[in-house]
């Protein structure tokens, strides 16, 4: 594939949504089988990571807390539009910073959806009110709630390099509480450590065994290892010809099966985005309703190439 062999300068790429820098037709992805509706609960987080793609921190409120009322509206829209969604997923920031997180989760479970929450399992989740709410929901809806914990590396030192000193221990404490109380857990890690996939999974397997966590390190759905999202790295643009050359289907891409709702600071209404990875890219904002978000997505961003098409990653469960 010529694009992969002789990449152009990054500055020349990803300018035209329909044509690549070489003038070839850019690949697009239709919403063919909606399975997951994501909500960003807000960009505020209790910690600030070394490399956070969404720049979450204790000070970043560029995406403000989404409210339960706003989530209810989109759940109603799902029924009207008849999307075949099975899962409602929440990311941040840290979702448990949002004071309405338990109500939002309850609303999703009451509608019959599986719920996935991405969390660092630290202090926000471990507050008394949050733990009480989670215990109630997990008992009322057994097997419907999954907590995906961010464990950047199975080794405490490497994890703390990314997330701050002492964070590994606090995350393990939160995971221990979840395990002891019968929650379904998964883990999200990173692939920036110079290890092979098997080496990483062996490390996570040892960690899970040490603490008695019921997580399969060798199941990619339970231990998700994400490629790093560095926009400064030169990556190829994806053309329509790439599907055949790479033997991949557009239907397998994350934007074929999901959308994400965010609430921008100062905005009157939430917006629906094409992708969980591009919360600040205006060209991937599709409107304020699910109906407006049913169009195709042009793969006009480095993350589309590195993370999804070439990396084969997906944020959904």
Q: What is the pLDDT of residues 42-79, one digit of tens each?
A: 999 999 998 887 889 999 999 999 999 999 999 999 99
Sites in the chain below the pLDDT cut of 70: 1-11, 228-232, 312-317
User: Into which CATH architecture does domain 31-235+249-298 fall?
Assistant: Alpha-Beta Barrel (3.20)
186, β-bridge pairs? 148
- The pLDDT, as a whole number, for residue 313 is 52
pLDDT of residue 308: 85
Which tens digit of pLDDT belongs to each residue from 298-309?
999 888 888 788
Q: Tell me whether residue 221 is exposed, middle or buried, using C-beta atoms within 10 angstroms of its C-beta: 0 to 12, 13 to 18, 19 or more.
A: exposed
Tokens 């070489």 -> residue: 22
How high is the pLDDT of residue 68?
97
Question: pLDDT digits over 218-259, tens only?
Answer: 999 999 998 766 666 778 899 999 999 999 999 999 999 999
Show the CA angle centred on residue 306, arms to residues 198 and 201, nearest 5°: 15
Q: In the chain, what are the helix, strand and coil shares in percent, each to the nearest 5?
A: 35, 20, 45
Helices and strands in the chain, H and E counts: 10, 11
pTM of the model: 0.92
Distance CA 129, CA 196 (A): 40
Predicted confidence at residue 174, as pLDDT, reads: 98
């Amino acid at each position: 594939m010529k694009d992969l062999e002789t990449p152009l300068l990054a500055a020349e790429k990803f300018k035209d949504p329909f044509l690549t820098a070489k003038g070839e037709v850019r690949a697009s992805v239709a919403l063919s089988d909606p399975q997951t509706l994501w909500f960003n609960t807000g960009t505020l987080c209790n910690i600030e990571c070394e490399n956070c793609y969404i720049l979450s921190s204790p000070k970043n409120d560029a995406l403000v807390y989404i409210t339960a009322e706003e989530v209810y509206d989109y759940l109603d829209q799902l029924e009207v539009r008849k999307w075949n969604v099975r899962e409602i997923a929440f990311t941040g920031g840290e979702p448990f910073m949002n004071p309405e997180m338990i109500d939002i989760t309850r609303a999703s479970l009451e509608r019959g959806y599986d719920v996935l929450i991405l969390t660092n399992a630290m202090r926000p989740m471990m507050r008394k009110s949050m733990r009480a709410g989670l215990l109630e929901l997990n008992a009322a809806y057994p097997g419907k709630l999954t907590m995906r914990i961010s464990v950047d590396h199975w080794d405490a030192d490497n994890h703390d390099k990314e997330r701050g000193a002492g964070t590994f221990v606090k995350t393990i404490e939160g995971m221990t509480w979840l395990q002891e109380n019968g929650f379904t857990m998964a883990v999200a890690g990173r692939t920036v450590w110079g290890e092979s996939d098997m080496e990483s999974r062996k490390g996570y397997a040892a960690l899970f065994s040490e603490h008695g966590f019921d997580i399969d390190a060798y199941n990619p759905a339970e231990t998700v290892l994400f490629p790093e999202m560095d926009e400064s790295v030169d990556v190829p643009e994806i053309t329509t010809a790439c599907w055949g050359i790479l033997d991949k289907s557009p239907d397998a891409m994350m934007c074929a099966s999901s959308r994400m709702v965010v609430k921008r600071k100062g905005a009157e209404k939430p917006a629906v985005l094409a992708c969980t990875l591009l919360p600040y890219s205006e060209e991937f904002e599709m409107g304020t309703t699910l109906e407006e978000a049913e169009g195709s997505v042009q793969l006009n961003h480095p993350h589309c190439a590195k993370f999804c098409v070439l990396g084969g990653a997906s944020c959904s469960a």
